[in-house]
Structure 1
């Protein structure tokens, strides 16, 4: 029956998006990016079954519904704030671009989070001095590079800009002397992606930069490492697989909801992430709209022993 076939195809798409080819136009990456929204097909299947007065159709429609619930349901029932046990380090990432951003207001909101280490991306040149002035009291140590900035309660050393193959550095790295030992911290903004009629999902530059960043992280001698930033993609996107190989995402506990961060006014996708090595996430919260076009992500981390 048509409803059964449609339900099984939707289930297969939700459970195994990786089988889709990435050509033409990086179709696979695009589907993986929008994967939670394919759940909107479920009420359509149920409505179709109701119109047909088909009980079997309803049963078949429940198959992708259960699959969607298993994949994305935990995000709807997880809670914000720290999990059980101690939290050794709190980190924050925020892309501060966008026409609505007011640097003094954003800086005050950042201070209110109580984060120990803050990564700001897409910092306008004319706003950099404002952020330095407003954040200095709580974060006496900072490092900046082009449109990226790291602010820390703890001393920073070994600061370097990373060439990821773009026209300008897409990451900076520093080592923070935290209470749990030296921690390499990366502030990252990977190249933007676009959807166009002629090129499809244009992610080639982003994917190449992600692969180069992974090579640098693989060589990083520091045992504990935190990557903070706007990766311009979801962690389900195969183009970001190099970064998730060997790093642990702190995205699982994303507060109430699916943890979307962009666009801030009505977020539909998660572009901003915290990835770690040598830490266990104790809680992750996507904070309210602070005036940027992205929402900030605050994560608590516990050092592995």
Structure 2
């Protein structure tokens, strides 16, 4: 019950806790079911820190004035907001002999090929998954390819998969309503086992469409993403052995579609062995690039702060 007779600072603490919990629950459990809650799932988690911090400061001020109520609630709200923002995420890490890097390179519009190559070579990855490889600058892709000797390159419309492991199979699944594809490659590991790798760049939920009142565009994109996730789950189900999904999934780590992917493919590597918020899209403080695997054990996950794109690369080591 909301007792109006309580001091303002105590009511503010309750309000802060309620706002943080309700907003997070709607974005997590309702999410893609309605356009509004879909957008709520994309709100940067740092936003929820502001009401929690405000309530804590106000209740501490009240405590100085002899009013003790509300501090515990404000601290609880702040703790939930910090956890939701990933700032309390800290997992033990080890070494993995299979290194996989995923990186959206923004069509080569934000960095020189030499910058991207430096990042890729420093990662020393066995498998590299690139998105937005429909490069705009002339010759950009060719310069990247020449700099990555030793990798077998497989291309989709705007995705590249490069592997130092032998490629024994490949197929492309066209995504409806676009030229995007899901690029599936089958690799042979040194022990002779097969690994299915899926490189994906899913459709983007454009908040700008909602701000302009174009709700039909938001609904169309939401339907496309539902189909794409269903197709990814189908591919994972068909694969006989270990499966790895990586790429720019344009999906924060919450909501119905994200949970469906983790159920049908496997856990998010960052959730298992990552540290900190790992914002792969730092301008909005969001983590939307992921790696998920079945039949592989993640041992190390890190986001590398490098120039050359509006995304940051995610490197994962697996056992």
Larger radius of gyration: 2
Q: Say which of 68, 76, 90 aligns to 1:63.
A: 76
Q: Is the 8 A contact 2:14 2:74 kept in 1?
A: no
Q: Say which of 99, 102, 127 aligns to 1:90.
A: 99
Distance 1:260 1:70, change over 3 A: closer
Q: Is the 8 A contact 1:108 1:134 kept in 2?
A: no
Q: Say which of 288, 293, 307 aligns to 1:271.
A: 288
Q: How much does 1:280 deviate?
A: 1.0
Distance 1:50 1:270, change over 3 A: same
Q: How many residues align?
A: 290
For the aligned residue pairs, the C-alpha RMSD in angstroms reads: 2.4
> Where in structure 2 are there 5+ consecutive unaligned residues?
1-5
Q: How much does 1:209 deviate?
A: 1.6
What is the CA–CA distance in structure 1 between the aligned matches of 2:32 and 2:125, rounded to whole Å?
38
Q: Is the 8 A contact 1:7 1:63 kept in 2?
A: no
- 2:307 is matched with 290
The correspondence of residues 113-192 of structure 1 with structure 2, limited to 5 A, is 113-125=123-135, 126=138, 127-137=140-150, 139=151, 141-180=152-191, 181-192=193-204
Q: Is the 8 A contact 2:100 2:125 kept in 1?
A: yes
Q: Is the 8 A contact 2:13 2:56 kept in 1?
A: no
- 1:216 is matched with 235
Q: Is the 8 A contact 1:286 1:297 kept in 2?
A: yes
Q: Is the 8 A contact 1:29 1:238 kept in 2?
A: no
Q: Is the 8 A contact 2:52 2:81 kept in 1?
A: no
Q: How much does 1:208 deviate?
A: 2.5
- 1:207 is matched with 226
Q: Is the 8 A contact 1:185 1:227 kept in 2?
A: yes
**Residues 44-75 of structure 1, C-alpha deviations (whole Å, 9 max, x = no match):** 11123245444212222012123334553442
Give the structure-2-normalised TM-score. Answer: 0.82
Q: How much does 1:39 deviate?
A: 2.4
What is the CA–CA distance in structure 1 between the aligned matches of 2:177 and 2:290, rounded to whole Å?
20
Please say which of residues 113-122 and 192-201 is displaced more in the overlay: 192-201
What is the CA–CA distance in structure 2 between the aligned matches of 1:173 and 1:271, rounded to whole Å?
20
Q: How much does 1:147 deviate?
A: 1.1
Q: Is the 8 A contact 2:44 2:284 kept in 1?
A: no
What is the CA–CA distance in structure 2 between the aligned matches of 1:19 and 1:299, rounded to whole Å?
28
**Residues 62-110 of structure 1, C-alpha deviations (whole Å, 9 max, x = no match):** 12123334553442x457xxx24x5230000000016212123201220
Q: Is the 8 A contact 2:159 2:183 kept in 1?
A: yes
The structure with the largest helix share of the pair is 2
Give the structure-1-normalised TM-score. Answer: 0.85
Q: Is the 8 A contact 2:32 2:256 kept in 1?
A: no
